[in-house]
């Protein structure tokens, strides 16, 4: 087992971690702002991938330009889901009920995707999907570099939004104390709706990168959501940076163990890592120590 292989694994882990961070970012945002676990995030990523697929195959629109259409579409979907379903959840059993509601939404979306696209696997094709950059004797796949760059850019953008804008302040205020935020004039409902919209629109980008690097069909969403949940919880609820760090951490562990030991044990190692982290730091690596009850 060579050093090259190990180094390659670490680099791969970092790059793929970026892609997963992209997908998890939305989840953690929704989680943090709404106290809602969006089980549908996985299938929404797939929906985003299918949208990119349709645009590129039937309208000839490239993957990156296509985002200009898919991102607003997914934003709209997020707003619709929040308005129709999430809003109706009372604050008391919110998180637990949200699991059921979003699971039901996920099933419906999967059903619709199956009805329209069938169960055949598809993959996004673009000229740069197979090309790679040669650096220091390693080949780094272009698509992962693009994905990683997109991830960093988006996460930075989100961070800026949350911490440097008025809107972001409203979001954080509603997050900390809904009643107080209401009292000082923040339209909490609107803030929440927009936050969910943003959280879901990110899946459009994640879907595009995921779809370019994996074959997928409507069923693939289930595999994704467990990883995304692990990443979000480990990183800390509501922490965007935490999601990035956790994603890279988990993916690097996964890839290194796969290379050093065996791919079949790799997921087990990171799940064990997750359990250990949570046992000692229940709020995740970067989560805020509970303001609200843990």
Partner 1 sequence: MRVLRKCLYMALAFAVAGLVVACGSSSNSSSSAAAGSPSSSSSGSSSKSGGAPITIGTSLSLSGDFSADGQAFERGYQLWAADQNKAGGLLGHKIKLDVLSDSSSPAQVVSNYQKLIGSNKDALVFGPFSSLLTVPAARIAARYGYAFVEGAGGAPTVFGAGLHNVFDVSIPVKDNLVTFAQWVASLPAAQRPKTAAYATVNDPFTQPQLPVAQKILEAAGVKTVLNKVFPAEVTDYTAIAGQVATTHAQAFLLGSVDVPTVSAFTHVFIQQHYQPKAFIATAGPDQGAQFVKAVGPGNENGIFVPNGWFGGLKKSDSQQMVKEYIAKYGGTPSDVNADVAEAYSVGQVLAQAVQATKGFDQAKITQYLKSGATLNSVQGPVKFDPLGENLAQKTFTFQWQNGVLVQSLPTSAPGASPPLYPKPAWK
Partner 2 sequence: MSETETNAGDPAPPLAVAAPKRGLTVGVVAVIAAIFVAFPLLVTDPTTTSIAFFALVFMVAASAWNIFSGYSGYLALGHAVFFGTGGYAVAVAARDWHVAGGWPVFVLVLFGGLVAGLIAIPVGLVALRTRRHTFVVVTIAIFFIFQLAAFNLSFTGGTSGILLPLAPFSAANFNTPFYYVALVILILTVVTSWLVRRSRFGLQLLAIRDDEDRALGLGVKTRRLKLTAFVISAVPIGIVGGLYFDFVGQIYPQFAFDPLFDLSIALMAFLGGLGTIVGPLLGALVLESLQQYLTQTFSSSATYLIAYGVLFLVVILIMPRGVVPGVSALLERRRVKAAVNASAERDAKVPGGVAGAAQ
Binding to partner 2 by residue 282, rule CB under 8 A?
yes
Nearest distance in Å: CB 22, partner 1: 13
- For partner 2, the closer of residues 186 and 232 by Cβ is 232
Torsion of CA 190, 230, 89, 96, to 10 degrees: -160
Q: Give the Cα separation of 208 and 50 in Å (integer).
A: 8
Binding to partner 2 by residue 121, rule CB under 8 A?
no
Binding to partner 1 by residue 255, rule CB under 8 A?
yes
Site size with partner 2, rule: CB under 8 A: 47
The contact pattern for partner 1, residues 158-197, with x = CB under 8 A and - = no contact, is ----------------------------------------
Binding to partner 2 by residue 108, rule CB under 8 A?
yes
Judged by beta carbon distances under 5 to 8 A according to partner kind, the member of partner 2, partner 1, none in contact with residue 8 is partner 1
Q: Quick one: which segment of 29-37, 60-68, 168-176, 207-215 binds partner 1 (CB under 8 A)?
A: 207-215
Nearest distance in Å: CB 30, partner 1: 21
Q: Which residues bind partner 2 (CB under 8 A)?
A: 31, 37, 85, 88-90, 93, 95-97, 99-101, 103-108, 110-112, 114-115, 119, 222, 226, 229-230, 233, 237, 262, 264-265, 267-268, 271-272, 274-275, 278-279, 282-284, 293-294
Q: Which residues bind partner 1 (CB under 8 A)?
A: 2, 4-5, 8-9, 12-13, 16, 114, 118-123, 125, 129-132, 139, 141-144, 213-217, 219-220, 223-224, 227, 254-256, 258-259, 262-264, 266-267
């Amino acid at each position: 087992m060579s050093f090259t292989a190990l180094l390659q694994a670490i680099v791969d882990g970092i790059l793929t971690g970026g892609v997963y961070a992209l997908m998890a970012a939305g989840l953690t945002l929704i989680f943090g702002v709404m106290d809602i676990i969006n089980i549908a995030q996985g299938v929404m990523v797939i929906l985003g991938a299918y949208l990119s697929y349709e645009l590129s195959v039937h309208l000839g629109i490239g993957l990156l330009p296509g985002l200009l259409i898919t991102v607003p579409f997914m934003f709209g979907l997020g707003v619709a889901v929040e308005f129709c379903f999430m809003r109706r959840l009372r604050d008391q059993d919110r998180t637990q009920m949200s699991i059921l509601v979003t699971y039901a939404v996920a099933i419906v979306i999967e059903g619709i995707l199956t009805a329209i696209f069938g169960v055949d696997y598809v993959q996004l094709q673009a000229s740069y999907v197979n090309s790679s950059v040669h650096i220091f004797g390693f080949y780094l796949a272009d698509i992962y570099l693009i994905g990683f760059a997109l991830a960093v850019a988006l996460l930075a953008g989100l961070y800026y939004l949350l911490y440097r804008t008025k809107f972001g302040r409203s979001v954080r205020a509603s997050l900390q104390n809904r009643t107080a935020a209401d009292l000082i004039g923040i339209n909490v409902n609107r803030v929440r709706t927009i936050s969910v919209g943003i959280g879901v629109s990110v899946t459009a980008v994640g879907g595009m990168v995921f779809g370019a690097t994996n074959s997928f069909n409507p069923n693939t969403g289930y595999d994704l959501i467990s990883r995304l949940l692990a990443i979000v919880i480990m990183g800390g609820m509501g922490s965007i940076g935490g999601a990035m760090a956790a994603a890279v951490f988990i993916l690097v562990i996964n890839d290194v163990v796969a290379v050093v030991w065996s791919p079949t044990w790799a997921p087990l190692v990171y799940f064990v890592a997750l359990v250990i982290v949570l046992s000692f730091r229940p709020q995740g690596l970067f989560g805020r120590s509970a303001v609200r009850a843990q």
